Amino acid sequence: MSTKTSSPFTWRPLGLEDISKIADWFWDFEDVALFDRGLPVPVNIDAMRESWRSSLDHAQTPRAFWFIAEDANETPAGIAGLEAVNYIHGDAIVPAFVAEPFRKKGLATAMSVALIELAFQQLRLHRLTTYYRDGNTATLNALQTIGFTEEGRFREGWFVGGTRRDVVIVGLLASEWAGRRDRVLAKLPETCRAICCLQGGNAARA
C-alpha cells in the first residue's frame, strides 16, 4: 500500500489496538533513540502493548491523552500526547514522534498545536513542558516557531550513537500561546490543518 503524503492527515485518539500498527517504529531502536531517551528496548508486541496500557486506559480523571495521525490510506504517520497531566498545578508533558517517511512535512508541529489547544482551551492547563536532544535542529526550530522557551538542561543526559548530548528542557505558558496562536496556525501546511481542528481532541476520554 503506497503512502500518500500529499493528502490531508486525520487525527484520532490512540487505542491499545493501534499499538500493533506502530510497533515497527520501535523495533528501530537507533532511530527512536534520536527522539526519545526514555523508551525501553522492546521485547515483543504484548510487552509493548502492556507498557502503553496505563497511558491509554480510560480513567475518571485521566493523566494522559494520546492521539495518532494517519494519512489517507490510514497508514500511521505519527503519535503525540499529553503525559503526566497535573490538574492542580496545571501542567503536562508533550511528547511526539513522527515516522521517518512523514518527517519534515509539518506534522510534528501540527500534532503539537492540536495538543496545545487541548491543554489550554479544554483542560485549562497553565503550562506545558517537553524535552529534546541538543543538536536536533529540526525539533528546535519547530518548538521555537510554536513559542517554547528553553528553561534548563540535563547536561550530557542523552546517550545516542556513542555520544552524550544535553537534554534540553523547554516550556510554554498559556499566555504565551495566546499571543502566537494565529500566526502559528496560519503557517501550517494545508495537509496538516485538519489535525488542529481537534476532531480527536473533542472525543478524548469521552
Structural domain includes residue 1: no
Structural domain includes residue 16: yes
Looking at per-residue confidence, does 30 or 114 come out higher? 114
Structural domain includes residue 72: yes
pLDDT in tens, 127-176: 999 999 999 898 898 899 999 999 999 999 888 878 899 999 999 999 99
CATH number of 80's domain: 3.40.630.30
Mean pLDDT of 74-87: 94
Structural domain includes residue 142: yes
Structural domain includes residue 5: no
pLDDT in tens, 161-171: 788 999 999 99
Q: Where are the alpha helices (DSSP H) in the chain?
A: 19-27, 29-33, 45-56, 107-117, 137-146, 174-187
pLDDT in tens, 4-51: 444 588 899 999 999 999 888 877 656 566 556 565 555 678 888 888
Structural domain includes residue 2: no
Structural domain includes residue 3: no
Residue 15: closest CA among 46, 55, 76, 56: 56
Domain count, the chain: 1
Cell, residue 83: 503525559
Structural domain includes residue 110: yes
Q: Dihedral (C-alpha) 55, 59, 64, 69: value to the nearest 10 degrees?
A: 80
Q: The domain containing residue 139 runs over which residues?
A: 10-203
